[in-house]
Chain A
Amino acid sequence: MIEFRDVSKQYPDGTTAVDRFDIVIPSRKTTVLVGSSGSGKTTLLRMINRMVDPTAGAVLIDDEDVAGIEPVRLRRRIGYVMQNSGLLPHRSVVDNIATVPRLTGASRAQARARALELMDTVGLDRALAKRYPSQLSGGQQQRVGVARGLAVDPNILLMDEPFSAVDPIVRTDLQQEVLRLQRELHKTIVFVTHDIDEAFLLGDQVVILATGARVAQVGSPAEILAAPADDFVADFIGAKKGKRRLEVASRRDDDLVLADSAGFPVGLLARSQAYSVSDKTAQAGDA
């Protein structure tokens, strides 16, 4: 469990990035912080591994204040995946993944063996192990980034807009990969994005942030979609513009799905034979 207690961050020039932020991030779930640029979401993420220290308040991991943990030691036990992968360009794929285990004292052979296993885990061909990051595609680099984040088998995985620089098709792949990994590994994932669709897809808990890390709404995707807390949230999730007039529809195979205004299914509500097929079957099913 990660807890933000009345956390603020003020920079010396007087700008307030975070103002009295208060939230609990449950263990073994995915929490997505979503907001536009300037909402302080990355700042919040970086407070967890002390890349940024708050000017007031406290961040606690399992009831332990991170301010009391030596930053380098803290960071080595928290996975971190960032935009543009942040891979070390002068290290091969396998050595990139093995970096943190090596830092924490694993032998070269051990660390490499573990790295190769992780390549399987994130769906990378082992043949790529000796390549350098610049010889990989953007999507492959992000997979390496995820593998590196998992290398010390951390309880917490921080993901800072990891997929915002890859093209939409690859992004979809990677998002599915994260969902699959999370089903297998049950990490406490804190994921930062500006893409509300990505937030709803990945998050068990979604935190919608306004400027200065003001919490506009916290809840499951369903709760937020069903009852946006205010106009800001409604606007942010696109409910107002009719971009996301979701409705319950049913598909040929009788699963209940959520469909948007164009009849495009966006999510599965229930897998059931019991619901009778409504008139909308044809419309939603064809989409």
Chain B
Amino acid sequence: MGWLGENLGLVVDLTLQHARLSVIPIVVSLVAALPLGWVISRSRLGIVLLGVGNVIYTIPSLALFVSLPAILGTRILDETNVVVALSLYGVTLMMRGVADAFGSVSDDVRQSARAIGYSAAGRFASVELPLAAPVIIANLRVVSVSTISLLSVAAIIGQGGLGYLFTDGYSRDFPAEVLIGIVATLVIAVVFDLVIVAAGRILLPWQRPARRGRARASLALSPDAAGGAS
């Protein structure tokens, strides 16, 4: 624990950098994947998009980190490279999930929304998006964790946040430093996950399990619930 005490400032700095560098790709993934996923769920163009996504996803991360400066015209040590690379992975992973999410909206509800007079745009915003949200959030949690862990690889090009503790600990043959890096990464992942779940709870109140007292009352109040025919 002595090492941690002496290097607390470094660990905190790296943790904050790690959180900052991962939050941008996560948000970008969500924002970009929403329209892309919707298109995939709706049109034939979707297969092409998914194909492109799969190709991008198979590019090794290190190869992408080092080749992006040539493509973007950025400096090799620019953190933009890392953010862009992780965003690309995030979007490709996320858009498939978003497509599944829109696909999971029941056709009955979609038809009913149409029948009672929602316009196409209104249906997307007020019906399809909220109903797809639980699956979208589930996918966002995966993207969040994968982005946070993938960022460590960028330590090799000097932009990896807590990944520095892995490379440094390894080269100095000092397992405690690696372990601290792992724990700090886990903390970030858990905090991000809790934030996403909490946001989901607030935004999707109908998803909350009914409170105990209420659940019992509802059973008692509905005589035809016991039949269970529907």
Q: Which residues of A pack against B, CB within 8 Å?
A: 46, 49, 51, 72-73, 75-76, 80, 82-92, 99-100, 103-104, 125, 127-128, 131-132, 134-141, 148, 158, 165-167, 169-170
Is B45 close to A, CB under 8 A? no
Q: Which of B1-9, B62-70, B109-117, B182-190 contacts A (4 or more CB under 8 A)?
A: B109-117
A132-B115 CB under 8 A given contacts A89-B131, A90-B130, A140-B222:
no
Q: A-B contact count, CB below 8 Å?
A: 95
Q: Would you call B118 an interface residue if the criterion is a C-beta within 8 Å of the partner chain's C-beta atoms?
A: yes
Q: Is the CB of B230 within 8 A of A138?
A: yes
B149-166: CB near A (< 8 Å → 1, else 0) gives: 000000000000000000
Residues of chain A lying within 8 A (CB to CB) of residue B122: 103
Q: Quick check: A135 and B210 within 8 Å, CB to CB? A: yes
A84 contacts which chain B residues (CB < 8 A)? 108, 230
**5 A/B residue pairs, CB under 8 Å, sorted by A:** A86-B108, A86-B115, A100-B116, A137-B223, A169-B227
Of the candidates A85, A131, A141, A169, the one whose C-beta lies within 8 Å of that of B218 is A131
Which one of A46, A80, A92 lies within 8 Å of B116 (CB-CB)? A80
Q: How far is the CA of A82 from the CA of B131 in the complex (A)?
A: 19
* Contact among A103, A139, A166 for B117, CB-based, below 8 A: A103
Contact of A89 among B109, B117, B218 (CB under 8 A): B109
B72 within 8 A of A: no
Closest to B115 in A: A80
Enumerate the 7 nearest inter-chain pairs by beta-carbon distance, A residue then B residue, closest first.
A86-B112, A138-B230, A167-B229, A76-B117, A75-B117, A80-B115, A137-B225
Which B residues lie at the A interface, using CB under 8 A? 108-109, 111-119, 122, 127, 130-131, 204, 206, 210, 218, 221-225, 227, 229-230
Q: Is the CB of A170 within 8 A of B117?
A: no
- A169→B117 contact, CB < 8 A: no
Chain B residue numbers with a CB within 8 Å of A158 are 115
In the assembled complex, which residues on chain A have CB atoms less than 8 Å from the CB atom of B119? 72
Q: Which residues of B contact A136 (CB under 8 A)?
A: 222
Q: Contact at B115–A137, with CB atoms within 8 Å? A: no
How far is it, in angstroms, between the C-alpha of A85 and the C-alpha of B108 when the chains are bound?
9
Contact B221 A167, beta carbon cutoff 8 Å: no
Since A83-B108, A135-B218, A167-B227 are in contact, a sample of 20 more A-B pairs with Cβ atoms closer than 8 Å, ordered by chain A residue number, is: A46-B115, A75-B114, A75-B116, A76-B117, A80-B112, A88-B109, A88-B112, A89-B131, A90-B131, A90-B204, A90-B206, A99-B116, A128-B221, A135-B210, A137-B223, A137-B227, A137-B230, A139-B230, A169-B227, A170-B227
Max count, chain A CB within 10 A of own CB: residue among B116, B117, B118, B222: B116
Q: Contacts A75-B117, A125-B221, A127-B221 hold; do A87 and B230 have CB atoms under 8 A apart? A: no
Which residue of chain B is the closest to A142 with respect to CB atoms? B230
CA distance A89 to B134 in the complex (A): 12
Report whether B118 and A72 are in contact in the complex, using a CB–CB cutoff of 8 Å.
yes
CB-contact partner of B109 in A73, A86, A167, A169, under 8 A: A86
Closest to A99 in B: B116
> In angstroms, how far is the closest chain B Cβ from the Cβ of A44?
14
CB distance A76 to B116 under 8 Å?
yes
A75 touches B108 (CB 8 A): no
Q: Is the CB of A75 within 8 A of B115?
A: yes
Q: Which residues of B contact A46 (CB under 8 A)?
A: 115
Q: How far does the Cβ of A254 sit from chain B's closest Cβ, in whole Å?
A: 35
Q: Which B residues are in CB contact (< 8 Å) with A89? A: 109, 131, 206
Q: How far is the CB of B226 from chain A (nearest CB, A)?
A: 9
The complex places the Cα of A178 from the Cα of B108 at a distance, in Å, of 22
Which residues of B sit under 8 angstroms from A90, Cβ to Cβ? 130-131, 204, 206
Is B117 touching A72 in the complex (CB atoms < 8 A)?
yes
Please give, as numbers and ranges, the residues of chain A lying within 8 Å of B130 by CB-CB distance: 90
Q: What is the chain A residue whose CB lies nearest that of B214?
A: A135
Give the CA-CA distance A212 to B131 in the complex, in Å: 36
Instruction: Tell me how far the C-beta of A126 lies from the nearest C-beta in chain B, rounded to whole angstroms.
Output: 12
Q: With the chains together, A140 CA to B114 CA distance in Å? A: 22
Q: How far is the CB of A48 from chain B (nearest CB, A)?
A: 11
Q: Is the CB of A87 within 8 A of B112?
A: yes
